[in-house]
Amino acid sequence: MGDEIFLKWSWFLEWLTPGRATLKHVKRVIFQGRSRFQSVAVVEVEDEGKVLVLDGKTQSSESDEFIYHEALVHPAMLLHGSPEKVLILGGGEGATLREVLKYRSVKRAVMVDIDDLVVEIARKYLPEWHQGSFDDPRASLVIDDAWNFVAEGRERGFDVVISDLVDPLEAGPATRLYSLEYYRMVKDVMSSDGVFVTQAVSISHLARYHAIIKNTLSRVFKHVASYGVYVPSFDSMWGFVLASDSRDPQVLASRDEFESRVAKLIDPKTLKFLDYMALLHIFSIPKTYKEKIDEVEEYATLDNQVFLPA
Amino acid sequence: MGDEIFLKWSWFLEWLTPGRATLKHVKRVIFQGRSRFQSVAVVEVEDEGKVLVLDGKTQSSESDEFIYHEALVHPAMLLHGSPEKVLILGGGEGATLREVLKYRSVKRAVMVDIDDLVVEIARKYLPEWHQGSFDDPRASLVIDDAWNFVAEGRERGFDVVISDLVDPLEAGPATRLYSLEYYRMVKDVMSSDGVFVTQAVSISHLARYHAIIKNTLSRVFKHVASYGVYVPSFDSMWGFVLASDSRDPQVLASRDEFESRVAKLIDPKTLKFLDYMALLHIFSIPKTYKEKIDEVEEYATLDNQVFLPA
Amino acid sequence: MGDEIFLKWSWFLEWLTPGRATLKHVKRVIFQGRSRFQSVAVVEVEDEGKVLVLDGKTQSSESDEFIYHEALVHPAMLLHGSPEKVLILGGGEGATLREVLKYRSVKRAVMVDIDDLVVEIARKYLPEWHQGSFDDPRASLVIDDAWNFVAEGRERGFDVVISDLVDPLEAGPATRLYSLEYYRMVKDVMSSDGVFVTQAVSISHLARYHAIIKNTLSRVFKHVASYGVYVPSFDSMWGFVLASDSRDPQVLASRDEFESRVAKLIDPKTLKFLDYMALLHIFSIPKTYKEKIDEVEEYATLDNQVFLPA
Amino acid sequence: MGDEIFLKWSWFLEWLTPGRATLKHVKRVIFQGRSRFQSVAVVEVEDEGKVLVLDGKTQSSESDEFIYHEALVHPAMLLHGSPEKVLILGGGEGATLREVLKYRSVKRAVMVDIDDLVVEIARKYLPEWHQGSFDDPRASLVIDDAWNFVAEGRERGFDVVISDLVDPLEAGPATRLYSLEYYRMVKDVMSSDGVFVTQAVSISHLARYHAIIKNTLSRVFKHVASYGVYVPSFDSMWGFVLASDSRDPQVLASRDEFESRVAKLIDPKTLKFLDYMALLHIFSIPKTYKEKIDEVEEYATLDNQVFLPA
pLDDT digits (tens, 9 = 90+) for A62-90: 999 999 999 999 999 999 999 999 999 99
* pLDDT for B186 beyond 90: yes
Residue B11 to residue D14, Cβ atoms within 8 A? no
Are residues A43 and A62 in contact, defined by beta-carbon separation less than 8 angstroms? no
Per-residue pLDDT at D1: 43
pLDDT digits (tens, 9 = 90+) for B48-69: 999 999 999 999 999 999 999 9
Per-residue pLDDT at D86: 98
Assess A5–D contact: CB distance below 8 Å, yes or no: yes
What percent of chain B clears pLDDT 90, i.e. is strictly above it? 81
The secondary structure of C116-162, three-state, reads: HHHHHHHHHHCHHHHCCHHHCCCEEEEECCHHHHHHCCCCCCEEEEE
Query: At a CB cut-off of 8 Å and minimum separation 6, what does C289 contact?
Result: C203, C204, C207, C228, C237
Mean pLDDT of chain A: 94
pLDDT digits (tens, 9 = 90+) for A46-60: 989 999 999 999 999
Assess A137–B contact: CB distance below 8 Å, yes or no: no
Q: Chains with ≥3 Cβ pairs under 8 A against A?
A: B, C, D
- Regarding predicted confidence, which is higher, D213 or C17? D213
pLDDT digits (tens, 9 = 90+) for A243-270: 999 999 999 989 999 999 999 999 999 9
Per-residue pLDDT at D310: 56
CA distance, residue A2 to nearest chain D CA (Å): 4
Active-site residue, from B145, B159, B164, B167: B164
Most confident of A7-16, B83-92, B288-297: B83-92
Rounded Cα distance between B14 and A130, Å, is 34
Per-residue pLDDT at C217: 98
What percent of chain C clears pLDDT 90, i.e. is strictly above it? 81
pLDDT band at A124; cut points 50, 70, 90: very high
Per-residue pLDDT at C310: 57
Are residues C54 and C91 in contact, defined by beta-carbon separation less than 8 angstroms? no
Q: Measured between beta carbons, which residues in chain A are less than 8 angstroms from residue B288?
A: 64, 66-67, 272-273
Smallest CA-to-CA distance from A195 within A234, A240, A233 is with: A240
How do the pLDDT tens digits run along chain D, 310 residues long? 467 888 899 999 999 888 999 999 999 999 999 999 999 999 999 989 999 999 999 999 999 999 999 999 999 999 999 999 999 999 999 999 999 999 999 999 999 999 999 999 999 999 999 999 999 999 999 999 999 999 999 999 999 999 999 888 776 778 899 999 999 999 999 999 999 999 999 999 899 999 999 999 999 999 999 999 999 988 889 999 999 999 999 999 899 999 999 999 999 999 999 988 889 889 988 778 888 999 999 999 998 888 887 5
How far is residue B126 CA from its own chain's centroid? 17
Per-residue pLDDT at C1: 42
pLDDT band at B175; cut points 50, 70, 90: confident
pLDDT band at A310; cut points 50, 70, 90: low
Rounded Cα distance between A195 and A190, Å, is 8
Residue A18 to residue B24, Cβ atoms within 8 A? no
- Regarding predicted confidence, which is higher, C144 or B169? C144
* pLDDT for B1 beyond 50: no
- Regarding predicted confidence, which is higher, C98 or D233? C98
Per-residue pLDDT at C235: 85
3-state secondary structure of C219: coil
3-state secondary structure of C291: helix
Assess D235–C contact: CB distance below 8 Å, yes or no: yes
Rounded Cα distance between A300 and A179, Å, is 5
Per-residue pLDDT at A2: 63
Rounded Cα distance between A8 and A25, Å, is 7
Torsion of CA B42, B45, B51, B52, to 10 degrees: -40
Per-residue pLDDT at A306: 81
How far is residue A175 CA from its own chain's centroid? 14
pLDDT digits (tens, 9 = 90+) for B190-231: 999 999 999 999 999 899 999 999 999 999 999 999 999 999
Active site residue D164: yes
DSSP element (H, E) containing B17: strand B10-17
Query: At a CB cut-off of 8 Å and minimum separation 6, what does B152 contact?
Result: none
Residue A287 to residue B281, Cβ atoms within 8 A? no
Residues in chain C: 310
Q: Measured between beta carbons, which residues in chain D are less than 8 angstroms from residue B26?
A: 10
Query: At a CB cut-off of 8 Å and minimum separation 6, what does D102 contact?
Result: D266, D267, D270
Residue C203 DSSP label: T
Between strands C20-34 and D139-143, the pairing is unpaired
Q: What is the mean pLDDT of residues C182-197?
A: 97
- Regarding predicted confidence, which is higher, A206 or D310? A206
pLDDT digits (tens, 9 = 90+) for C228-252: 999 998 888 999 999 999 999 999 9
Phi and psi angles of residue B253, each rounded to the nearest 5 degrees, phi first: -65, -20
Search chain C and give the residue with CA nearest A54: C7
CA distance, residue B207 to nearest chain A CA (Å): 12
Per-residue pLDDT at A288: 80
Q: Measured between beta carbons, which residues in chain B are less than 8 angstroms from residue C4?
A: 2
Per-residue pLDDT at A16: 84
Q: Measured between beta carbons, which residues in chain A are less than 8 angstroms from residue C13?
A: 8-11, 23
Q: What is the mean pLDDT of residues B279-290?
A: 85
Search chain C and give the residue with CA nearest D237: C230
Rounded Cα distance between C213 and C200, Å, is 7
Residue B251 DSSP label: G
* pLDDT for A186 beyond 80: yes
Domains of chain D: 2-61 (2.30.140.10), 65-294 (3.40.50.150)
Amino acid at position A69, single letter: H
* pLDDT for B310 beyond 70: no
Per-residue pLDDT at A224: 98
